[in-house]
Structures are given as C-alpha cells and as structure tokens.
Amino acid sequence: MIRERGRWLRLLSMTGAVTVLVLGSPGVASASTRTAAVRSPQIAAPSKALCKKSSYKIGYDVFSGTQPFADLVTQGLDNSAKSIGCVTIVKTIDNLNGVVAVANLKTLINEGIQGFIDFQVLAAFQPPIQKILAAAKIPGVAIVGANLPGSPDVGADNYHSAYDDGVYLAQQAKARFPGQVPYVLGGAEPTSGALIMERYNGAVAGEKSVLGNLPSSHIIEVQNDGTAPTAYNNTLSALSAVPTGSVVLLTGVNDEVTGAMAKAAQARHVTNYLVNSYGGDSYGLGQVCTNSHYVGAWYLEPMVWGQDSLTAIMDQINGVAVPGTIGVIGEEATKTTPITGCK
C-alpha cells in the first residue's frame, strides 16, 4: 500500500502497450496535476524514540559505492543513524554481483547484525537472500532496487512517479513540436523484476495519456541492466528503427541510464529529442542545468530512502508493524527549481 494526498492506494501491476524490444523554445510550465507533493510519508523519520535498546547493529548491502543515487541513499541512512545515536551501520558493497551480495549477507550475519537493509538490483538473488534472513530470524528491508519477498520495501512509488515523468515529457513535446507524433524510447530493467518494470510501464502510460493513440511502432522498450554502457549501446540499436527527422522522447529507470540514452541520440545525430531524467541524483540534476535537450528530472528524494529504511528496520526489530511498501512520489525538477541548483 502507498499513501498519496492522505489516501491509501493499493499498488497494482499496471502494464503499458506491447512494444518493440531492443536487447543486449518554451514548454509547459507545470507537471502533471496528479502530483500532490514531494512526499507523502507513511512512517516517521528516525528519532531517538526508536532506541528501545542501548545499541543496534544493522547490516547494509548496496549495489554500488560510486553511483550517485546510491551514494545519496547511503548518505541518508548514515546521517539518520548518526542522528539517533544508538545504531551502528555495517556496510558491504556487491558491485552488481548477486553471488557477492549473498556472501556479503552471510558475513554480516556472522558479525552479529540484528537487521538487514538490502539495496540490491538483481531480482534473481533476492529469494536466496530472504531465505538466509528467515533462517537466521533477522528482519529485512529492501531499498528498491529489487524487492525482497516477504519484507517491506522502500523507494519510489514506481508506476505513479514514472507516469508523471512521462506526462511532463509529453506535455513539453506537444508544446515544442506541435502536430508531430513522437517516438517514445523508454529504458527498462527487467533483471530487477516486475516492480522496477513499472517505471517503464508508468512512463509509457503517462506519455500516451498526453499524446493519445501513439502507434505501437512509435513505442520502443530499450532493455538494459541499469547501467550506462548497456543503455547507450541498446539505445543506439533502437534508434536505427527511428526515421531521420523524427521527434524522440527519452526517459529511463535512473539518471545514468537516461543520460546514456541521451548520449546515444547525440551520437546518432538526432536533432529533435527531449529528455526527462528519473531519480534526481547529482548527475541527473547536472544534466538539467547543462543539456538543452533535458526538460527536467523527476526528483525522488534519494536521501529519504535511506532515512525511511532505517525507521522500517528498527520498527521491525522493536516489534512494530511496518507498511509493505513505502513509496516516494516525487516532483518535477527543472532549471528554475531550487533543488536543481542551476546557475
């Protein structure tokens, strides 16, 4: 369940149109009217009131120690732990290697952790991780990433945030290229599972809500593994199916994937393309400031993800019920939005 505008909504699996699969000037001033606020919190920020015991040792495995969005999530977790004073975070990094992620968890359990925060993006390795946690009787929280069966997950409200990302991008296309039917290229990450595929499905649905009956040949799913190199190569391939002179709309599962897709459009000498980044890390926001093809970035408050994951795992250790899904809706950040920091 998620909460939006003070109402509880059930997250359903929503799918967009069947699409082509590819493997291996002024615009509109406002974003979608469906966006209420940056965040509708479901759980309180961490406070000293969570310290029912004198000390807590929490394990944390993250898929990258350098990716900007992951670094902001980690920073939010670390800052929250320091602020309440009773928590030690023991961190490991798996570098997008599922076997290493499993081994890291076993190491953390040997170090005596009482709870585990999992920021992993390979869905196939999540069931084994959950099985190990269950056997050790240690609660878990997934920062999504990929969801952890049976454990709460924290992160984006994937479908609705991506929907609004797509709406804003399509509104800008209608304003800047009136009368033209764009090609929609959406970055998709199937290896992270159905929940992350909602980012692609939501973005396509949002674009279609503005652009009307887009021909199926104008909707291209660019599959990738969440990294820039794969996104770049697969977007180059996808763009070979797009006629010269077409309007092209680009968005992806994170800022780095979206940026790589934009670089591929540049390499293919596409002139009329617009980009809406997704996530709002330092790289994505920087592109909004410096790349004229960016209409903005959908900002998802990455530091809040780390903060909420700490509350969720400590509540579980303390015997307090936690919502199954804690979703951030986000908001559009443009060159004039203060969070973007454009000069």
Token pair recorded at residue 241? 């199916």
| pTM for the structure as a whole | 0.85
- All CATH 3.40.50.2300 domain ranges of the chain, comma separated, are 15-29+156-300, 52-155+302-327
Tally of CB atoms within 10 A around 95 = 11
Cα–Cα distance measured from residue 17 to residue 52, given in angstroms and rounded to the nearest whole number:
49
| 273-279: strand order across its sheet | 20-22, 219-223, 183-188, 248-251, 273-279, 294-299, 331-333
Residue 85: CB atoms within 10 Å: 9
Q: Tokens in use for 323?
A: 């919502």
Classify residue 221 by its DSSP letter: E
293: nearest Cα among 177, 138, 139, 141: 177
CATH top-level class of 52-155+302-327: alpha beta
Chain-centroid distance of CA 314 in Å reads: 23
Going residue by residue through the chain, which has 343 residues, state the pLDDT in tens, using 9 for 90 and above.
Answer: 333 322 223 232 222 332 233 333 323 333 333 333 344 457 889 999 999 999 999 999 999 999 999 999 999 999 999 999 999 999 999 999 999 999 999 999 999 999 999 999 999 999 999 999 999 999 999 999 999 999 999 999 999 999 999 999 999 999 999 999 999 999 999 999 999 999 999 999 999 999 998 999 999 999 999 999 999 999 999 999 999 999 999 999 999 999 999 999 999 999 999 999 999 999 999 999 999 999 999 999 999 999 999 999 999 999 999 999 999 889 999 999 999 999 9
Close Cβ partners of 303 (under 8 Å, ≥ 6 residues apart): 72, 73, 75, 76, 79
C-alpha closest to that of 68 among 267, 240, 196, 254: 254
SS3 content of the chain, % helix, strand, coil (to 5): 40, 20, 35
Sequence letter at residue 168: Y
SS3 33: coil
Token pair, residue 183, equals 């090609």
Nearest to 115 by CA among 149, 145, 151: 151
Task: Give me the CATH code for the 15-29+156-300 domain, please.
Answer: 3.40.50.2300
9/202 Cα distance (integer angstroms): 16
